[in-house]
Amino acid sequence: MTRKESTVPRRLRFEIFRYNPEDAESVPHMQTFELDEAPYMSLFIALNQIRETQDPSLQFDFACRSAICGSCGMLVNGRPALGCRTLTSDLPELIRLHPLPVFKLIGDLSVDTGTWFREMVENTEAWIHNQQAFDPEAQEGRMDDDLAHAIYEGDRCIECGCCVASCGAANVNADFAGPAGLNRVARFMMDPRDTRGDGDWFEVVSNSDGVFGCIGMMACHDVCPKELPLLEIYAYLRRKALAARFAG
């Protein structure tokens, strides 16, 4: 719930995780900064002000500032969220920021989500598999509107990693495809241009690193900033996996 705007500006206290793994002298610790809150201040604005006016060495990632690039995921008072779309007015005066777990730490609040997502794509072979020879004269294939919409839903993932960071299974099993990975698998499973059969998909997702590795806490569904229908996606994958099992 949004905190009611007060006419008295708040003095915000930020406790921010600091650690540079590249520096042998660096020790993980929390550092405190204070800042006057401004109207409509996002964490993006607040962190930039802290870096500009108090500590130029503070590391964090932002690019688009509008929930598109997926680079600004962080733990905000323990909950994964995008810094660019989190308003300080929705938070208490004490704001604790940590880097997302699961991903390799670059420094402070900055993590390497790219390597994790690349490995996930390679492990799940999340691309169109089709042996058809390319025909430059061929007409564009047609697709049912509802199916195109379902595929588009999966493609809305911005690879921010918030779901992965919130996932109990991904936190303990480095090989687990994670919510974003399972969403990616479902997106290609639905796509009629991908000619893999149920048996092929069974090999990809029907194990403890796939959809049966999910322990059902569903935090991913709660934190996804794009509100992807992750619960429906897992149900779809489980139904497909069971159908393939009993067909084979």
Contact footprint for ligand SF4 (CB under 6 A)? 157-163, 179-180, 183, 224-226, 228
Q: Least Å distance between CB 8 and ligand FES?
A: 29
Could you say which of ligand SF4, ligand FES, none residue 64 binds, taking C-beta under 5 to 8 angstroms by partner kind? ligand FES
Q: Which does 226 bind (CB under 5 to 8 A by kind): ligand FES, ligand SF4, none?
A: ligand SF4
Residues 6+ positions from 120 with CB-CB distance below 8 Å: 126, 177, 178, 180, 181, 184
Counting contacts by CB under 6 A, is residue 219 touching ligand FES? no
Rounded CA-CA distance 226/162 in Å is 10
Per-residue contact flags (x/-) with ligand FES for residues 8 to 47, judged by CB under 6 A: ----------------------------------------
Q: Which two tokens stand for residue 100?
A: 């997302």
Token readout for 215 is 């322990």
The binding track of 41-70 with respect to ligand FES, each residue x by CB under 6 A or -, is ---------------------xxxx-xxxx
Q: Which long-range contacts (CB under 8 A, 24 or more apart) does 241-247 make?
A: 241/201, 241/202, 241/205, 241/206, 241/210, 241/211, 241/212, 243/198, 244/198, 244/199, 244/201, 244/202, 244/206, 245/202, 245/206, 247/198
Q: Which CB sits closer to ligand FES, 69 or 121?
A: 69
Question: For residue 9, which amino acid is it?
Answer: P
Instruction: Kindly tell me which of 34 and 155 has the beta carbon lying closer to ligand SF4.
Output: 155
CB of 115 to ligand SF4, least distance (A): 14
> Least Å distance between CB 29 and ligand SF4?
28
Of 91 and 186, which CB lies nearer to ligand SF4 in the complex structure?
A: 186
* 15/175 with CB nearer ligand SF4: 175
How many residues sit close enough to ligand FES to count as binding (CB under 6 A)?
A: 12
Q: What are phi and psi of 67, to 5 degrees?
A: 60, 40
Cβ atoms of 89 and 99 closer than 8 Å? no
The SS3 of residue 170 is helix
Report residue 51 CA to chain centroid gap. 25
The residue whose two tokens read 């990632």 is: 61
Residue 131 CB, nearest distance to ligand FES (Å)?
A: 37
Identity of the residue, 33 or 86, whose beta carbon is nearer to ligand SF4 in the bound complex: 86
Residues lying near ligand FES in the complex (CB under 6 A) are found at: 62-65, 67-72, 82, 84
